[in-house]
Structures are given as structure tokens and as C-alpha cells.
Amino acid sequence: MNFATYIGRRLLFIAPQLLGIVLVSFLLIKTIPGDPAVLMLGPTATPEAIASLRAKMGLDQPIFTQFLFYVKALLHGDLGTSWQTTRPVLEDLFQRFPATVELVTFGLLTAIAIGVPLGLASAVHPKGWIARFADFYGLSAGAVPDFWLALVFIYVFYTLLGWLPPPLGRIDLAIIPPATVTGIYTIDTLIAGDWEAFASAASHLILPVATLGLINAGPILKMTQATVERMLQSDFSHFEVLSGMPRGMVIRSALRNSLPSVITIIGVLYGFLIGGAVLVEIVFSWGGAGQYAVQGVLNSDIYPVMGFVLFSAIFSLIVYLVVDLIYFAIDPRIGH
């Protein structure tokens, strides 16, 4: 089986997968108590006004009819309107989703940069001080909540030292955000050639990215350490040692054999963090998609929540596809 047919087959499954996700999440969100009509009109509204708004919003229809209307609109690219922002959800998400993707991507890259080398080093020298530090680090990263670490960072680097900007969004308030191309400020400012805006966007990224990176390096570290250790204990590594392969080559081939597991955990984290970084988003007033969805849930604003679920689902499916393609590329046993 070659690459192209493999991708084709995977893409073929994306549409039904998405439909299933939309159906389940629609039903679940609908079961959350709370009537948007009541919330929209406020406590003084008359029952008649509420009933007429419900009818206007289609809330009086059976749930399955509502679902069909939603899917029909979806096929026309309409994700509904948020009653909080009074803007189309699609527009809101196009603005906010890249913010979250930017944050999460840099956070994850940082986590990889910390977790993989540390995990590798502690697998190679299981009794060395690096391994002991890695054990301690893995435990702490699992125990410390991300928002708490974020608050500590803000206190130290903004309040005490004043090195970094206040936790108020993605870019300095006095700086005009760059024209939207990708929605990712660090890229858009570079495209615009605006160095000042780039510096501001980058400096705003440092603390939330460091928070996410340090916390999420934990699972990556553990996975790398455990898998490389197992690979170094495996028969083929022993045989490489018996065949007089230099230590570096033995370690490299163990690492390469560990990559599928490490990439799996990275892929899972990537999909998870789109929603999982919401506390960090809130602490830094990031204005990302996770924050948007939480607001929606709290206010019975169903369309932003659905939109977020849909975007995250597509994002995760793409990530998993890429992960599978990487497996395909590194492991000859897959797909033959």
C-alpha cells in the first residue's frame, strides 16, 4: 500500500467521524440544563416573550429536528451565532482558534524540547543524577497545576522583576495587531515585517508557553524514558552491543524504535491541549478558543461550544492523521 492510497483512505473516514462527533456533542450539550432564551432576556422577561424567542431560535422543536437544522446550516458553512458576542461563531473562531493553536503549539514544542532529551538522558544513565532529577521533575510536573505555575511566573517575572509584559492578552495594547493572514501573531507580524509587533507578541507568549511547556514535558519525559529504557533492554539492542556497535549507535537505534510511542503521546497531548490549556488562557487573558467555549458552556450559548468542539475535532483528526503518516514513514511494518 503506498502513501497516497493510505492518506486517501484515512480522509475518507474523516466525514463520518466528524458527523458522529457532531451528533454526540450536540445531544450532550443539549442536555446541559439552562435555557438560553431566559438568559438572553434577563430576569424581568415575560413568559410570552421567552416563548416567542424560543420559537424564533427553534428551541421548541424536537431535539432531532434541531440537530438536522444545525447540520444543514453547517453544510452551508454556518456555525450559528453566539448570542453573547452577537457575531457568527465561525468569525469568532477564526479569530480565537489560531490564538490557542499558537499558544499550544509553542507550548508543546517547548515540552518536547525539555521532555525528549531529558527522558533520553535518564534512560541512558538510569542511575545518574539526570535520571534522579527527571524522576523528581516528572512527579512535580504531574502534581503542580498549570494555572498555579502561571500565577507564580507572573508574580516573579512581571510583578517582581518586571522583565515581561502583564498577562493581558497576546500583544501590547498600544500596538496594532498585524493584518490577519494565519491568525498566528508571531507569523503575521513577520509577514507584515513589523518587528516591534513581533517582539511584543513573542514576549507575551513567553510565560504561557513556558507554563504549558514545563507542565506537559512531564508525560513526554516519562514516555521517552520508559520506552527508550525498554528498547535498550530489548534483544536487538543487546545484539547490537554484542556486535560491538558504538554506544551512540545503540542509543540512536533505541531512540528511533521508541519514536512511535513518543509521537503518540505528543499527538494526544496536542489534541488535548486545545481545550486543556483553558486555565492558562484565562490566567493570561489570552482570548483563545478554549476560553470562548467555556464562556459558552456557562451561558447556555450552544453554538460557540459546538463550533469549538467541531474545530477541535477537525484539529485532532488532522493531528492523528499526521501521527499515522509519521508511523508509516518510520516503521516498515505498518502498511505492508
Contacts with other proteins, residue ranges (CB under 8 A): 234-236, 238-247, 249, 253, 256-257, 330-333, 336
Q: Closer to other proteins by CB, 72 or 247: give it.
A: 247
User: What is the C-alpha separation between 269 and 265, in angstroms, rounded?
Assistant: 6
**What nine digits make up the cell of 233?**
533492554
- The answer to whether 325 and 7 have CB atoms below 8 angstroms apart is yes
Cβ 129 to other proteins, closest distance in Å?
20
Judged by DSSP in three states, 285 sits in: coil
Q: Closer to other proteins by CB, 245 or 297: give it.
A: 245
Q: Closer to other proteins by CB, 203 or 253: give it.
A: 253
User: What is the C-alpha separation between 278 and 292, in angstroms, rounded?
Assistant: 9
Cβ 126 to other proteins, closest distance in Å?
11
- The answer to whether 130 and 122 have CB atoms below 8 angstroms apart is yes
Q: Closer to other proteins by CB, 21 or 241: give it.
A: 241
CA dihedral for 33, 39, 41, 44, sign (positive or negative): positive
User: What is the C-alpha separation between 157 and 62, in angstroms, rounded?
Assistant: 53
Render the burial of 250-288: b for 16+ CB within 10 Å, e for the rest: bbebbbebbbebbbbbbbbbbbebbbbbbbbbbbbebbb
Cβ 238 to other proteins, closest distance in Å?
8
Q: Closer to other proteins by CB, 65 or 234: give it.
A: 234
Cβ 242 to other proteins, closest distance in Å?
5
Cβ 9 to other proteins, closest distance in Å?
22
